[in-house]
Structure 1
Amino acid sequence: MFTGIVQAVATVSQLVDRPGLRSFTLQFPPGFTQDLAIGASVATDGTCLTVTEVLPGDAARFDVMQQSLALTTLGRLVEGSRVNVERAAKEGAEVGGHVLSGHVDCLGQVLQIRRPENNHVLRIGVPESHRRYVFAKGYIAVNGASLTMAEVNRTEGWFEVWLIPETLRMTTFGEKAEGAALNLEIDRATQVVVDTVREALDERLGPLLPALQSLLAQQGLSLDDLGAAVRLPASGGSARA
């Protein structure tokens, strides 16, 4: 489990390809690997990785399967790439963001960057398969950081997050350009409620469902908005945003 509070930025110092996987060596800031053990979990740009070797000088090695390389941004990393990292939360740890599993659901893309005074706004595109789970003021994990979605347009398929200077200092978001790919993890509470509401409506209304969808569309709404109305509260606040 992770809290979505990025603890540091690490650098990919070595990549080694082996049959069926790629080994990553990450160089961490001083002190990050204190008490880190083989088998421990470290979220790397939001992807939960298992430590396979702890190295001298605040470094550690991780093995990543081909499927993870294909489904996340990890397959695009090169030596010298910088990534957001968070160690697994300990029992009783304060959840400053919201609970994350470290399992990436889909890839997003930076569509637009705006820089109003003392802010940094990212407009992020979402694949159609996961647009139903994005809601204004809802939570989402982007490259391992728990963020609040300020604006959402599910029709066009994007949401916006506003980042304060502290967020930019502690993460790699300030380095991202338009077109960059990002790892997205949907808030699990939101996903469960939205799917449950949709399944219940489909089961109970049956042939009347198209009529309900039509009525909602006249109001500029959808079935997903019904899910938002009963969405469970998330487990924490917006992290560094």
Structure 2
Amino acid sequence: MFTGIVQTKLPVFTLDRRDDFATFTFEFPEQLLAGLQCGASVAINGTCLTVRTIDGHKVSFDAIGQTLRVTNLGALIQGSVVNIERAARFGDEIGGHVLSGHIMDQVEVLAVDDSADNRVVWMQRPAHLAMFLLDKGFVALNGCSLTIAQVEDDRFSVHLIPETRDVTTFGDVVAGNKINLEVDAQTQAVVETVRRLLGDGKLLADLTKTLSA
């Protein structure tokens, strides 16, 4: 489980790519190494990966073909910079929202509008996920917990404060970039439950009768 509060951004130190498989190695700072063990979960651009090896400050992760196809990890090269978050622990402050690290799709950045203290990023709103991408709702983008600022039929925007721009890769995002997206699990559960109720007239009638009793 993750919180969507990115702890740092790191470049890919080395990359070993084979058919439908890749091993990424990063040089972790001291503060992220504390208590880290092989087998631990770490979010890389919001994608939950498992620590394979730890050699001093060098930490490696494997990604299989499905992960490389569904997420933007498949486009990484040596030197590419990614967002990093260690798995949450019981008792940690949840400053964002609960994330699984399971990416649902990639969305394209359509436009970036900058001002002195704000950055507005517009992204695709894919039809198959549009019902979960709601005005003022939560969304995870490259592992960052963000609030949707504005929604249009085929696109949505998020506003980034200077802290988010500095700590995450969103300070360097440009139109055309592909961003990993994970919808908010609670929003997904509510929307899908309502859809099932509306799709089943008898079930909806029974629910209405119960609520009015």
TM more than 0.5: yes
Name the structure 1 match of 2:206: none
Structure 2: runs of 5+ lacking an equivalent? 204-213
Name the structure 1 match of 2:26: 26
Partners of 2:99 and 2:184 within 8 A in 1: yes
- Distance, in Å, in 2 between the alignment partners of 1:85 and 1:142 is 12
| Partner amino acid, structure 2, of 1:23 | T
Off by >4 Å, runs of 4+ in structure 1:
none
**Length-normalised TM-score, structure 1:** 0.81
TM superposition shift of 1:128: 1.1
**1:176 matched to 2:173:** yes
Name the structure 2 match of 1:130: 129
**1:166 matched to 2:163:** yes
Aligned mate of 1:186, from 183, 186, 189: 183
Deviations 1:141-160 (A, max 9, x none): 0000000001011x2x2111
TM superposition shift of 1:205: 7.4
- Distance, in Å, in 2 between the alignment partners of 1:83 and 1:201 is 41
Name the structure 2 match of 1:229: none
TM superposition shift of 1:18: 3.7
3-state SS, counterpart of residue 39 of structure 2: coil
Partners of 2:6 and 2:167 within 8 A in 1: yes
| Residues 10-19 or 119-128, more deviating | 10-19
Structure 1: runs of 5+ lacking an equivalent? 207-241
| Partner amino acid, structure 2, of 1:193 | V
Name the structure 2 match of 1:71: 70
Identity, in percent, stands at 45
1:1-241 alignment runs, 5 A limit: 1-18=1-18, 20-56=20-56, 58-153=57-152, 155=153, 157-204=154-201
TM superposition shift of 1:182: 0.1
- Distance, in Å, in 2 between the alignment partners of 1:181 and 1:20 is 20
| Partner amino acid, structure 2, of 1:171 | T
- Distance, in Å, in 1 between the alignment partners of 2:161 and 2:126 is 26
| Partner amino acid, structure 2, of 1:187 | D
Partners of 2:15 and 2:25 within 8 A in 1: yes
Partners of 2:20 and 2:68 within 8 A in 1: no
Size of the aligned set, in residue pairs, is 203
Deviations 1:23-69 (A, max 9, x none): 1101223332122100001000000000000121x220001000000
- Distance, in Å, in 2 between the alignment partners of 1:19 and 1:119 is 41
Partners of 1:124 and 1:160 within 8 A in 2: yes
